[in-house]
Structures are given as C-alpha cells and as structure tokens.
Amino acid sequence: MINRVVLVGRLTKDVDLKYTPSGVAMARLTLAVNLTFTNQQGEKEANFINCLVWRKQAENAANYLSKGSLAGVEGRIQTGSYEGQDGKRVYTTDVVADSVQFLEPRNGKASQNNASTSQPQQNYTRVDEEPFENSSCPVKVQDDDLPF
C-alpha cells in the first residue's frame, strides 16, 4: 500500500504549536495549494490542506514559518473522526508531515543577522522568482540538520 503526499503552498495563518501531556511538540498548519487550472471567471482557486507536524520539526516550523510563508510538506494522509458538540460525527483529513521544507528566506531577522556575519553574501535564483540575497533559510530542514 502507498500513502504519500507532496505539497507546496503558502501558510494561511501562523503555525499553532502545542505540546502533548508527555511533552511532545505538535504543530498544526494549513497550506493553501493552488490548483493548476482557473475557474470559469478566470480566477485561480486553491485547496486548503490541514497538516500535522511532530517533535522537533514542529518546533522548527513554529519558529521559522509564519502566515504567507512558502513551504513544502511531504507526508501521509490520515483520516479520523470525533463527536462534535452538537452530537454529530465530524470527519477529519490531515496530512501528517514526515518532512517540512522552508522554501523562502525568512524576512527581516534572517537578513539582518547574516549582514553582520563575516561570510560573503551569496545570491540564489529560483526559476520561478526573482533573485534573493544572503539567505540563511535551508531548503530542506530535518531534525538531524539543525545544530540545536
């Protein structure tokens, strides 16, 4: 059986970081993922996909992503249900992330912090966007990649 999902989209709101009673970090985020076609009025539409991120990646997402950030998520679909306050069954579908990628440099703080370092500035160009300078935001971040 295969259950894999790869998404690229923008966060619709800031990451919601919480901790389980046993102290495990869990973050919820919603990605707006554009559809590849336009509607009858010529407007692009998007799907809004709920994602769950666990442990260190959850803390990293909360620290480095915010509303409007471009992010990539790789994971699996998980469905569930619960009884709502009105007594009706509520069904849920979430993507449980195995990997979260930060696809843009952080605004403000990252640029200011790097300006004061002795490292030379580097220019990066993505095919679909204008160049940006001096990015300290890694393209793919996993728990083992970070020094903390």
Task: Render the burial of 1-30: b for 16+ CB within 10 Å, e for the rest.
Answer: eeeeeebebbbeeebebeeeeeeebebbbb
* Percent of the chain whose predicted confidence (pLDDT) is above 70: 72
Residue ranges covered by each domain of the chain: 5-104
Residue pLDDT, tens place only, 44-54:
889 999 999 99
pLDDT of residue 86: 94
pLDDT of residue 40: 86
Quickly name the fold that domain 5-104 has.
Answer: OB fold (Dihydrolipoamide Acetyltransferase, E2P) (2.40.50)
Residue 123 has pLDDT above 80, yes or no: no
